[in-house]
Amino acid sequence: MANLLLVDSNEVAHRALRGLLSRGSHRCAVATTAEEGWKLLRDFVAFDLVVLELTLTGENGVRLLQRLRSDTLLKKIPVIVYTAVGDPKVVKAVLGVGVQNYLVKPYREEVVYRELEKALKTPWRAMHFEEEKSFCAQLQLDPAELRRRRVELEGAMEPTGRFLGSQFGQEQPAHAEVLRQVLALSEKAEAAGVWAVAEYLAAVQAGAERGDWSMLRTAEKDFAWMGQLIFEHLHPGMLHTTGFGEDDRHAAEEAQRRALWLEADVIQGGPMLGAGVLEAETEKLTACPVIDSVLASFQMAADRAGTHVQHVVDLVVQDPGLACTVLAAANQLRHDDMTAIEDLAGAVSLMGSERLATLAKQIPMAKEESFFVPPLTWPQFWRFQVGVGRLARVICEYLQFKNAAAVAYQAGLMHDLGKLVLCHLHPYAIEATVRHARTFKVPLAVAERRYLGAESRDLGEKLARRIGLPERFCTVIRLAERPLEAALGEAGELVCAIALARELCLYHHIGHDGELAERSAPAIEQTQAWTAIRPRLFPGFKMAEFEIQVRRMFLELKEATHA
C-alpha cells in the first residue's frame, strides 16, 4: 500500500484519483492549495509520491515544485505533474526543475500505476540513508551496531529540535551551545549514515557561520520530521498516519446514521422505509447513479472528449452505471425508431463531446464506501458485473444465441443496476441488507424486502424503463435471478445466458455481489438457469465441449480481473 499526496483544487480530480488508487488499496491525501500541500509534506514523512496540478489558487504548482527541490529534506520526493496545462514552454520549464513525469489530464489508471511503481522501485526516503550492507563493510560495522546508532539518533531528534527551536528570537541566544549540539549530532548522523540529518545540520552550521540563525525558526518541526524519517526506516510501514488528509467533519453524524440501519430489528419492527418510498425516490432520478470515483473520471474525460473519445468509450464499456446512462441518453436522441441503440461505443459516438460533457454533470453519485462489506467491495462488485457480461457473451456464442450474443456483455454488465440506485438513495442499505442476509442465512432479496419493503432489482428495472434503456436490457434486469419466467425468443435467450453466467460467477467466486455462495459449485446441469436453457439447445449440443469453453473463460476472467 502506498500513500500519495494530490495537490489539486478540483474536487472532481480528487474523487477520480482516489477511486483509481483504491482499487490497489492505496491511500490518497488531498491538498487544494500549494500551502496545504507543503504543510502535509512537512507534517508527514510517509508520502511516497506527489501528484501535482500546476494551476492552483494562490501559489501555483511550479512554485511549490521549486520549494520542494530547494528543500534539504524534501528535495528527493518524486513528483509527477498531472495537469490540464499542455503548453510546451511550461512543460520544458517544469522538466527543468525536476519531475518524475509530466502528464496531461484526464487521469489514466495504467499510467498512474506505472508512475507509482516507478516511485516505489527506489523509495525516496531510502536515499537519505547510506545502504546498510556497503556502509557496514566500509566501516567494519556489525548491522546490529548500525541499527543501534540509528535508534540512538532517532531518540535525539525531539529534544535537540526543541532546544534549537527555543533559541530562535532569544535576546541572548546560547549560540555556543547551539553549535556544540549541532556538531555533536552531526557526528552521530554521519556515523549512522543518515545523510538527511547530516545535510540539514551542515546547513544550520553554514548559516551560523554567516550569522544567520533563521533555520532555528522551524527547527522543532524539522527535527520531528527527521525523527519520523528514521523511525520509518527502522520500522517500515509502522509510522502512524491514520487520518492524514481525511475529512472527518461529518464522521459522528455518519456513524449515527449507519448505526440506525445496522441495528434496526426489521423482523419485529418491519421495513426501515414506508410503502412506496423507494419507488417514489427512484422516480425522481434522471440517470443511473455512478460510483463517485468512476463519475469523477468520466467527468474529467467528457470535458476533453474531443481529443480523448476512446478514453470515454473505455470508461463507459466497463461501468454499469455509465453504460446504462449513456445508452439511455443515446436512445432519447433522434434516430431510426425501428432500431434501438444497444452498442456502447456507438452510443458514445452518437452523443458527441458536448452532450457527453453536459450529461456528465447530471449523473447522480453513489459512494464507493457504501459497498464495503468484505468480501463485498466496489472493486469486487465491479468484477462480478464484468465477469457476468463476458461469460454471458461466450455462452451465447457457443449456444448459437446469435442475436443475444451481440448484446450479452452489455446486458451482463448492467444486470444489477438496482444496487447502484439503492447505494445512492440510502448509502447504508447495502451494508445492512448484506449483513442481515449473512446473519440469518437468507437470500439477499429476502433481506432487501425485510429492510426496504422492495428489492433492489425492482428499483433497477423501474429506473431503466423510465430513462429509456432498450427493452431487452430491462427484461434482463427484472428476470436475471428468475430465468424460468423468461419467455421464448431473443429476450428469453439473453435472460437465460445472463442467469447462467451469474450463477457460475457466483459459485466460482469471480468478484462478489453480496450474495452467499454455496461452498462447492454445482454442475452446470444442476443450476436453475440450465433448466431454462435446456429446451433452447441446438441439435448435437455437447456438454463436455461447452464445459471446456466455460472453464477456459474462468481462467481468463481470474487473470484479467485479479479475482
What percent of the chain clears pLDDT 90, i.e. is strictly above it? Answer: 68
In the predicted model, what is the mean pLDDT of residues 179-202? Answer: 95
* pLDDT attached to residue 523: 83
In 322-464, where do the E strands start and end?
365-366
End-to-end CA, the chain: 18
Q: Are 170 and 25 in a shared domain?
A: no
Shared domain for 400 and 505, answered yes or no, is yes
Same domain, 102 and 140: no
Q: Which of 59, 93, 124 is the last residue of a domain?
A: 124
More confident of the two residues 460 and 274: 460
pLDDT of residue 18: 85
Q: What DSSP letter does each residue of 433-494 carry, written as one string? A: HHHHHHHHT--HHHHHHHHHSS-HHHHHHHHHHHHT--HHHHHHHHHTT-GGGPPSSHHHHH
- Is 333 in the same domain as 316? yes
pLDDT > 90? residue 76: yes
Lowest-pLDDT choice from 4-8, 175-179, 515-519: 515-519
Q: How many CA atoms lie within 13 A of 302 on its CB side?
A: 25
For residue 430, is it within any domain? no
The sign of the torsion formed by the CA atoms of 134, 137, 143, 146 equals: negative
CA distances from 319 to 112, 325, 326, 379 (A): 19, 10, 11, 11
Query: Phi, psi at residue 52, to the nearest 5°?
Result: -120, 130
361 shares its domain with 390:
no
Close Cβ partners of 220 (under 8 Å, ≥ 6 residues apart): 161, 162, 164, 165
In this model, does residue 293 exceed pLDDT 80? Answer: yes
Domain boundary (124, 153, 174) is at 124
pLDDT in tens, 523-561: 888 888 999 999 999 998 999 999 888 888 888 887 765
- The residue assigned the cell 458536448 is 354
Q: What are phi and psi of 466, to 5 degrees?
A: -70, -40
C-alpha cell at 233: 526506516
In this prediction, residue 248 carries a pLDDT of 40
Residue 65 located in a structural domain: yes
CA of residue 108 relative to chain centroid, distance: 12
Pick from 145, 129, 133: which is nearest to 190 by CA?
A: 129
ω into residue 379 within 30 of 0, thus cis? no
Backbone angles phi, psi at 546, to 5 degrees: -65, -45
**Looking at the structure, do residues 400 and 539 belong to the same domain, yes or no?**
yes
Per-residue model confidence (pLDDT) at position 186: 95
Distance (Å, whole) CA 436 – CA 67: 53
Q: What is the pLDDT, as a whole number, of residue 519?
A: 62
- The average pLDDT across 127-149 equals 93
Between CA 231 and CA 239 the distance in angstroms is 7
517 vs 535: CA distance, rounded Å: 26
* Per-residue pLDDT at 306: 58
**297 and 148 share one domain:** no
Residues 405, 506, single domain; the answer is yes
Do 223 and 183 share a structural domain?
A: yes
Domain around 216: 132-234
Average pLDDT on 216-237 reads 90
Overall average pLDDT of the 157-169 stretch? 90
For residue 305, what pLDDT is reported? 54
217 shares its domain with 153: yes
- Grouping H, G, I as helix, E, B as strand and the rest as coil, residue 77 is coil
Residue pointed to by grid coordinates 484479467: 560
Which band of pLDDT confidence, cut at 50, 70 and 90, is reported for residue 362?
Answer: very high
CATH of the domain at 88: 3.40.50.2300
Domain count within the chain = 4
| pLDDT tens digits along 331-351 | 998 655 668 899 999 999 999
Per-residue pLDDT band for 196 (boundaries 50, 70, 90) equals very high
Mean pLDDT of 38-44: 91
251 lies in a domain?
A: no
Would 268 be classed as within a structural domain? Answer: no
Mapped onto helix, strand or coil, the DSSP state of residue 61 is helix
**Residue 388: exposure state from Cβ atoms within 10 A (0-12, 13-18, ≥19):** buried
Q: Which of 124, 159, 185 is the last residue of a domain?
A: 124
Give the pLDDT of residue 31: 93
Q: How far apart are CA 371 and CA 424, in angstroms?
A: 11
456 grid coordinates = 433492489
The pLDDT of 470-484, averaged and rounded, is: 95
**pLDDT-derived band at 509, boundaries 50, 70, 90:** confident
Q: What are 225's three cell numbers?
A: 520530521
Residue 144 forms part of a structural domain: yes
Burial of 432 (0-12, 13-18, 19+ CB in 10 A): buried
Q: How far apart are CA 391 and CA 504, in angstroms?
A: 9
Q: What per-residue confidence (pLDDT) applies to 458?
A: 95
Residue 529: closest CA among 382, 415, 407, 414: 415
Give the pLDDT confidence of 19-40 residue by residue, as tens digits: 888 777 788 899 999 999 999 9
Q: Which residue has the higher pLDDT, 19 or 403?
A: 403
C-alpha cell at 31: 491538498
User: What pLDDT is stored for residue 245 in this prediction?
Assistant: 45
Please report the pLDDT score of residue 244 as a whole number. Answer: 53
Lowest mean pLDDT, pick from 26-30, 287-291, 431-435, 518-522: 518-522
d(CA 291, CA 40): 28
Alpha-carbon span 185 to 351, nearest angstrom: 66
Query: For residue 22, what pLDDT is reported?
Result: 75
- Sign of the CA dihedral 49, 52, 57, 59? positive
Q: What are phi and psi of 30, to 5 degrees?
A: -125, 135
Could you tell me the CA-to-CA distances from 192 to 140, 149, 162, 187, 502 in Å, in that order?
13, 6, 22, 9, 59
In the prediction, which pLDDT does 23 show?
73
> Is 178 in contact with 160 (CB distance < 8 Å)?
no
State the amino acid at position 78 in one-letter form. Answer: P
Q: What is the pLDDT averaged over residues 412-427? A: 96
Banded pLDDT at 235 (limits 50, 70, 90): confident
Contact indicator for 271, 453 with CB cutoff of 8 Å: yes
In this prediction, residue 78 carries a pLDDT of 97
Considering the entire predicted model, what is its pTM?
0.67
| 53 lies in the same domain as 162 | no
For residues 392 and 517, state if they share a domain. Answer: yes
Kindly state whether residue 33 falls inside one of the protein's structural domains.
yes
Please check whether residue 371 lies inside any domain of the structure: no
Taking residue 208's Cβ as centre, other Cβ atoms within 10 Å add up to 16
Please report the pLDDT score of residue 229 as a whole number. Answer: 94
Question: Does residue 106 have a cis peptide bond before it, meaning omega lies within 30 degrees of 0?
Answer: yes
Domain for residue 483, yes or no? yes
User: 3-state DSSP call for residue 407?
Assistant: coil
Contact 8, 53 (CB under 8 A): yes
Q: Residue 520: its pLDDT value, please?
A: 67
What number of CA atoms fall less than 13 Å from residue 143's CA on the CB side?
Answer: 5
- Dump pLDDT digits (tens) for 245-289: 444 444 567 788 889 999 999 999 999 988 789 999 999 999 999
Cell numbers that stand for 391 in this block: 461469460
Query: How much is the pLDDT for 559?
Result: 72
- Which region among 14-23, 152-161, 266-275, 292-301 has the lowest average model confidence (pLDDT)? 14-23
In SS3 terms, 464-477 reads as: HHHHCCCHHHHHHH
362: nearest Cα among 414, 467, 420, 285: 285
pLDDT score, position 477: 97
Mean pLDDT value across the chain: 90
Residue 69 and residue 66: Cα distance in Å, rounded? 5
